[in-house]
Amino acid sequence: MQIDDISNTMHLLVHENGRALLLLQILIIVTGNYNFFNLLTIVLCIPLLDDQAFGKKGRKRTRSTGLLSNIFEIVTICYIGYKTWKLFSLQVVTSPNFSIKSEIAFSSKEFDHWLEQIVPWTIIIGCVSLGYEVLLSVLRCFISDSSVVWKVWSAVLCLVFGVVAVAMLCISLVPFTNELDWKSNQKIPPAVRNVNEKLDPFQITSSYGLFRTMTGVGGRPEVIVEGSNSMQKGWKEYEFLYKPGNLSRKLPIVAPHQPRLDWQMWFAALGNYQHNPWFVTMVYRLLTGQEEVLELIANNPFPDAPPKYIRAKLYHYYYTSSSQTRSPKNWWTRKEKSEYLPILSKDTSSLLDIIKHYKMVSNYAE
């Protein structure tokens, strides 16, 4: 039995998927600021690549597989390019300075409607493609092997792996449609849902990405911490090292470093302080002027002594456009949304109760 002939097609599919995922991670690194997550994903993608990716002689594609793969890549790239240009109204401006302008040309309802149309087709394409590859592998068993016994044995192995691949495809449809199209998700048979639920602890299938739902579309939520020695006036903002705060300060490129406190501040802005008890701990440390915490902050507005009171507000931050002229130039605009943390002092009973409940301070009695 020629193992190469049986697994050649599936090997090429794994290689193409690995290459596409690797390219995706590189593009995210270039356009984003996601510390070391993408580097870890790239490490996982390297074993999926063929020897050809490293300049070595690898497996050869069949004429039919190579032609179909090239046609699929060209059609996919052209479709994505056309839709990107149209849906984001891309315009190339050469005078007075070269720039590319964009504007979202679709609504949320239109996007949901597009997903309802495209998701079922992606499922159909996936099923047809998998069926074609399994059938092609079975046919190769009868063509490549000379012995009847080996032909039958090879075909049985291909069918077994084909059944496993079909089962994997079926249970992967649950997480695939869960966030994309609810109507398609509801059409999945209950038996498939039950199997996916039982296998979920093993993480055999999952939806891509750490954050499937993007935040910041309607403004980037940010918690701004303020201190003062009077409850009525004199409030000054604490400026962090990496997160947005000062409107005229642009964000630094930190990847692959992960600033833990600033990273947690972003998650805190998506919820409330009741679900983030560490935030209350930080406020207590600021009220007591603990040096280890103050070293994590870019600008301490109370260098001589800690403030008597601290509060926090929730803002939504927006990038300024190139047409907006300000003096000095601001990178951000912001709108106040709500109170995030009420005014607290280090002797406030509610603050002390939280500290006692979560056992945040070892010397609480003192």
69 and 44 share a domain? no
User: CA 267, 273, 275 angle in degrees (round to 5)?
Assistant: 75
| 226 touches 312 (CB < 8 A) | yes
306 and 232 share a domain? yes
pLDDT digits (tens, 9 = 90+) for 102-147: 788 888 888 888 888 988 998 998 889 888 888 888 888 778 767 7
> Which amino acid is it at 181?
D
Report the predicted TM-score, pTM, of the whole model to 2 decimal places: 0.66
Q: What is the pLDDT of residue 313?
A: 96
Provide the 8-state DSSP code for 231: S
Last residue of a domain, which of 171, 193, 212? 212
269 and 177 share a domain? no
43 and 128 share a domain? no
Last residue of a domain, which of 195, 212, 229? 212
The Cα–Cα gap between 332 and 246 comes to: 8
pLDDT digits (tens, 9 = 90+) for 195-254: 988 988 888 887 765 565 666 677 899 999 999 999 999 999 999 999 999 998 887 888
The Cα–Cα gap between 279 and 161 comes to: 51
The Cα–Cα gap between 61 and 183 comes to: 38
224 and 255 share a domain? yes
DSSP H or E stretch at residue 302:
none
* Residues 167-191, mean pLDDT to the nearest whole number: 87
Residue 20: Cβ-neighbour burial (10 angstroms; 0-12, 13-18, 19+): middle
pLDDT digits (tens, 9 = 90+) for 334-356: 999 999 999 999 888 878 877 77
* 363: in domain: no
78 and 120 share a domain? no
* Residues 59-81, mean pLDDT to the nearest whole number: 73
* 234: in domain: yes
Number of domains in the chain: 4
Sign of CA dihedral 192, 194, 200, 202: negative
175 and 293 share a domain? no
Q: Is the pLDDT of residue 257 over 70?
A: yes
The Cα–Cα gap between 345 and 231 comes to: 10
224 and 345 share a domain? yes
State which residues form the domain around 297.
220-358
User: For residue 5, what pLDDT band results from cuts at 50, 70 and 90?
Assistant: very low
Q: Is the pLDDT of residue 58 over 90?
A: no
* 364: in domain: no
Top pLDDT among 292 and 216 is at 292
90 and 113 share a domain? no
116 and 89 share a domain? no
